[in-house]
Amino acid sequence: MRNTVVTFLLGALLISSCSTDKTSDNPDNSILGTWDLTALTIDEATASDEEEFGQDILNMLTASNCYLVSLSFNEDLRLVTEDASNYLEIGVNPGGTGLDVPCPSQRDTETTTYAYADGVLTFIDDTQETISVALTISGSTMTMAAQELDVQNFNAGGELIFTKR
């Protein structure tokens, strides 16, 4: 009886130690999932007018649950990018009481391959150039330099902040 229990426990240990998780060429899975651009952080003391304007627009859109850029990192190393920044229409509210920035309904979608290791994201862009971007992931927040991703209207400076869905 004792041998049966020991054999059973060893068998259970062996089975539980075998992983059914898929592993890929991407050892750091913290990037997997969909990330939405939610903020642009800038140095208020040295920021250009363009950086401040970009930050204001992004803050307005994010407050209404509108995300200009979404990045979906899949386990099969496909990166799907949805970008609405080319369709921004910035106006002034009637009576000149502030900006009117409706959420763009149109988006450009691109699919490419990526690699992520040691805090560096590498992917092929729409012009077939290999792009490497340093980024930081902390929990559900991903940060990268705005110039590195080159999102229209948000590439003057500062850091782009993405939040995981």
- Residue 69's pLDDT band, with cuts at 50, 70 and 90, is very high
Residues of 13-29 as b/e, b for ≥16 C-beta within 10 angstroms? eeeeeeeeeeeeebeee
Domain boundaries, the chain: 23-164
pLDDT digits (tens, 9 = 90+) for 79-90: 999 999 999 998
CA 56 to CA 63: how far, in whole Å? 11
What is the CATH number assigned to the segment(s) 23-164?
A: 2.40.128.280
Q: Tell me the mean pLDDT in the region 72-77.
A: 97
* Model confidence pTM above 0.85: no
At residue 151's C-alpha, the angle toward residues 146 and 153, to 5°, is: 95
CB 85 within 8 A of CB 69: yes
User: What is the DSSP code (8-state) at residue 64?
Assistant: T
Q: Tell me the mean pLDDT in the region 95-120.
A: 91
Q: Tell me the mean pLDDT in the region 88-111.
A: 88
